[in-house]
Amino acid sequence: MRRLLNKLGTFAMGVETKAQEFHLPLAQITQSRFDCSVRYLTYSGGHALLGLEYDNTAPFLDAVSCQLNLPSVIPSDVQSPWCLTFLSPAATLSQLQRLLNFCAEQHWHIDVIDTLAHRHECTVIRFQFSAELEFSPARFACLQLAEVIGADLVLQEGTSQRVPALAGFDMDSTLIDAEVIDELAKITGIGDQVAAITAAAMRGELDFRDSFKKRMALLKGFSEQRLAEIAKQLPLKDGAQNLLHCLRKLGCKTVILSGGFTYFANFLQRERLAVDLIYANELEFAEGALTGEVIEPIVDGMRKRLLLGETAKEMGVPLEKVVAVGDGANDIPMLNLGALGIAIHPKPKVRREAPQAITLFGLDAALYLFGLNDQQIAELGQPS
């Protein structure tokens, strides 16, 4: 309704919004002086199809144009050595121009372009390209450009653009939109004190094991009954249910690897999320309340990596078919283990060090990095 009212408003002011597909060489896209909304871009064999929405003046007066023909076909097979995925909540021609100029400056030869999502609130365009590059500096350059243009840019090897066989997930602030230990502390009146320790640990400023012991000691006496009430109230991360549901339908095994607690991970597995395995910390109780002690071994960053590797080995899954998803500093070791290490809404240190990062979208945006488009994702969401 809002979109309709906006469109009516533009007519009232004498400005007509038009939607057109332009057929033109890829290099010509960078030459327009007019900005507008991008709906999609496809490119192969030297020929680009660019879908735009604009007011009055067409950005390309000398290009063949026709009505929008939104792409819904299966994306092209990935043949190139590298992929760069552009994810924008409001894609514009100026963003696209900056990205194309950036690729040219880096001497990245674009082979194929597919549009994986073309909703108004989410446009996802995947660039396959050939280049000899060093991953770390190239990834950092992409992060810098992403900040400038207000989008996510995800660099990955072309061979990683496929559905994984095993996916490992952090829980707190990754699958759920909360840090459980902080929520417990708020109830006991020491929320600020514990949250400060948690934040420092997630930023990598404190050793996770030491910070975990300190926080647990402060929670001594917390009742088990209240834990059950809190478990039902934990908010899921946007897109978590959809991502795990789709991965299960695709045959990918999933595992929680958490510095949080099995108590809550088991509840999520039982009631809300399609998870296959759980590794987390055990809570110790005495007379129905927390003792404040920890049960070894503590699941810290290195143990997460170890457990993910051991799980892959036991399942016979090679590391090139393993991905990991997390948000904090203690996730960095496992994020650097397999084919992809996706930091979701990460802290600054994690964004700098994780191989891949998604900051502007929900957890299920990871499906685009596995080579799926919106049509395929929607089909996975349908009942079998």
Q: Write out the catalytic residue numbers.
A: 170, 172
The tokens describing 183, both together, are 């929520």
Whether 258 and 281 have beta carbons less than 8 Å apart is answered as yes
Count of Cβ atoms closer than 10 Å to residue 6 Cβ:
10
**Structure tokens, 53:** 């929405």
User: What distance in Å separates the CA atoms of residue 130 and residue 109, rounded to the nearest whole number?
Assistant: 5
Q: How far is the C-alpha of 30 from the C-alpha of 251, rounded, in Å?
A: 41
Does residue 137 have a cis peptide bond before it, meaning omega lies within 30 degrees of 0?
no
SS3 271: helix
Tokens of 94: 């100026």
DSSP structure class, residue 81: S
- Sign of the dihedral defined by the CA atoms of residues 212, 217, 219, 225, in that order: positive
Burial class (CB in 10 A: 0-12, 13-18, 19+), 96: buried
Could you give the 3-state DSSP secondary structure of residue 284? strand
**Which pair of structure tokens corresponds to residue 15?**
């400005």
How crowded is residue 234: how many other Cβ atoms within 10 Å of its Cβ?
18
> Over the range 74-83, which residues count as b (16 or more CB within 10 Å of their CB) and which as e?
ebbebebebb
d(CA 178, CA 181): 9
Q: Which residue has the tokens 């002011």?
A: 13
CA angle 147, 2, 366 (to 5 degrees): 40
The full DSSP string for 103-158 is HHHTT-EEEEEEEEEEETTEEEEEEEEE----HHHHHHHHHHHHHHHTSEEEEEEG
In angstroms, the CA 211 to CA 216 distance is 9
